[in-house]
Amino acid sequence: MKTVVLVGCGRISGRHVQVLTQSPGMRLIAVCDIVEARAKAIAEPLGIPYYVNALDMVKREKPDIATILTESGSHARIACELAPHVSTLVVEKPMALTLEDADMLIETCDRCATRLFVVKQNRYNPPVVKLRKALENGFFGKPVMGTVRVRWCRDQSYYDQDAWRGTWKEDGGVFTNQASHHIDLLQWMMGPVESVQAYTATRLVKIESEDTGVAVLRFKSGALGVIEATTATRPKDLEGSLSILGEKGAVVIGGFAVNKLETWNFKDPEAMSLIEEDPSQAVPNVYGLGHQAFYQDVLECLDTGRNSMLAGLEGRKSLEIINALYESAATGREVFLRFVPHSVLLGRGK
């Protein structure tokens, strides 16, 4: 049985609490938030202690796993502070906002021999798992194009919930926050990115960063990619989707949270036979249902010692792409990876 503590009791914490209180092999033993009322609201119904200082919590509770759910800009700092005191860290996306902070976190965990897992729950969605298997089996052949669309609704009241939302220093915009999972899926399926060209706009809300962005990507394979992301869909969420096209087949996964298989077309009958029944999931919200499978994978990695597909270096890949998108949007130029950010406000502020 692995004991777990949560650091941060905001919007996403409810999903983690739900999963951890229902997961065999894991036990939630304490929570923390700098706003005491938030921590208390979660802890009291569960009969567990709450804290306002994360370091105090891990020193006193001595958990096996500490999960970081605070505002994006603080993920790396808090994780680095806790790394010497826990054997395992789970960090919600993004693992950091700047590449320097991501590298600092990876190096700190390596030095402390602390396992680091970055939450990318959509990788565990059943349609996504099937897509990845088809890709690994070579059923797509030569890659042609990959596309992600995030068309969600976040009105002003969402950003007004917390002062950090939509700021460059602590959050970023739709690319960093809402679309980061989809950008991760795109690079996981299509491979390393060679260059990006991006444009951003802030259309319907008053925030520092963007609520709308588009980008074209060139992958090292020669394939092309498209990112379309906005939180300015009205009046409600429309889709969170992924399309992968190759010389021998095409797959489209749609729904609100990359949860619904819409197209599965391949030349190879063996590829077609991968789908014996519809792997689509009905999901209650855009978070989907992948957190349960994510935590079970963490448990398996810890129990067996195998490497995780969501370790720090893997989590860094999508962050580098996001930083490149912002560099391109700020300069108006195509940005080639790897690059040194010069005009990126993300994680730094204006």
- Say whether both 131 and 254 belong to one domain: yes
In 78-175, DSSP assigns E strands to 88-91, 115-118, 143-151
Give the number of domains in the chain: 2
Task: Give yes or no: residues 158 and 131 share one domain.
Answer: yes
pLDDT, position 293: 94
pLDDT of residue 277: 87
Is the pLDDT score of 7 beyond 90?
yes
Domain end marker among 77, 105, 121: 121
- What order of strands is seen across the sheet that includes strand 88-91? 50-51, 26-32, 2-7, 65-68, 88-91, 115-118
Reported as a single tens digit per residue, the pLDDT across 68-102 is 999 999 999 999 999 999 999 999 999 999 999 99
Q: Name the 3-class secondary structure at 228.
A: strand
Spatial distance between the Cα atoms of 237 and 178, rounded to a whole number of angstroms: 12
The answer to whether residue 113 sits within a structural domain is yes
Domain assignment present for 178: yes
Same domain, 194 and 329: yes
Whether residues 217 and 97 share a domain: the answer is no
Give the residue carrying structure tokens 């108006």: 332
Residue 7 lies in a domain: yes
In terms of domains, do 86 and 136 share one?
no
Region for 148 from its dihedrals, namely left if φ exceeds 0, alpha if ψ lies in -120 to 50, beta otherwise: beta
Do 210 and 330 lie in one domain? The reply is: yes
* Domain housing 206: 124-273+312-336
Per-residue pLDDT band for 286 (boundaries 50, 70, 90) equals low
Residue 304 lies in a domain: no
Question: In whole angstroms, what is the distance from residue 171 CA to residue 96 CA?
Answer: 10
Residue 36 counted as domain residue: yes
Domain boundary at 88, 121, 154, which? 121
Judgement on whether residues 46 and 161 belong to the same structural domain of the protein:
no
2 pLDDT more than 90: yes
Count of residues in the chain:
350
In the predicted model, is pLDDT for residue 162 greater than 70?
yes
Please give the Cα distance from 222 to 108 (Å, whole number): 35
What is the overall mean pLDDT for the chain? 95
Strands 88-91 and 26-32, by their bridges, are: unpaired
Can you tell me which residue has the tokens 């921590």?
39
CATH code, 25 = 3.40.50.720
Q: CA-to-CA distance for 134 and 140, rounded, in angstroms?
A: 7
Kindly state whether residues 132 and 37 are assigned to the same domain: no
13-28: pLDDT as tens digits: 999 999 999 988 999 9
Give dist(CA 225, CA 197) in Å, integer.
10
Q: What is the mean pLDDT of residues 227-247?
A: 97
In a domain, 300, yes or no: no
Helix (H, G, I), strand (E, B) or coil at 302: helix
Give the residue from 78, 99, 121 where a domain finishes.
Answer: 121
CA 131/CA 251 separation, integer angstroms: 7
pLDDT at 349: 76
Report whether 318 contacts 99 (CB < 8 A): no
What gap in Å lies between CA 13 and CA 7, rounded to an integer? 9
Could you list the beta-strand ranges (E) of the chain.
2-7, 26-32, 50-51, 65-68, 88-91, 115-118, 143-151, 193-201, 212-219, 224-230, 239-246, 249-254, 260-266, 335-336
- Per-residue pLDDT tens over the stretch 39-76: 999 999 999 999 999 999 999 999 999 999 999 999 99
- Please indicate, yes or no, if residue 342 is contained in any of the structural domains: no
The type of residue at 347 is: G
- 30 with 114, same domain: the answer is yes
Assess whether 137 and 243 both reside in one domain: yes
Q: In this structure, are strands 193-201 and 335-336 parallel, antiparallel, or unpaired?
A: antiparallel
Residue 293 lies in a domain: no
Query: For the segment 117-151, what is each residue's pLDDT rounded down to a tens digit?
Result: 999 999 999 999 999 999 999 999 999 999 999 99
Say whether both 73 and 155 belong to one domain. Answer: no
Query: Is 112 in the same domain as 9?
Result: yes
Q: What's 198's domain CATH number?
A: 3.30.360.10
Residue 338 has pLDDT above 90, yes or no: no
pLDDT attached to residue 291: 93
DSSP letters for 9-78: -STTHHHHHHHHTT-TTEEEEEEE-SSHHHHHHHHHHHT--EES-HHHHHHHH--SEEEE-S-GGGHHHH
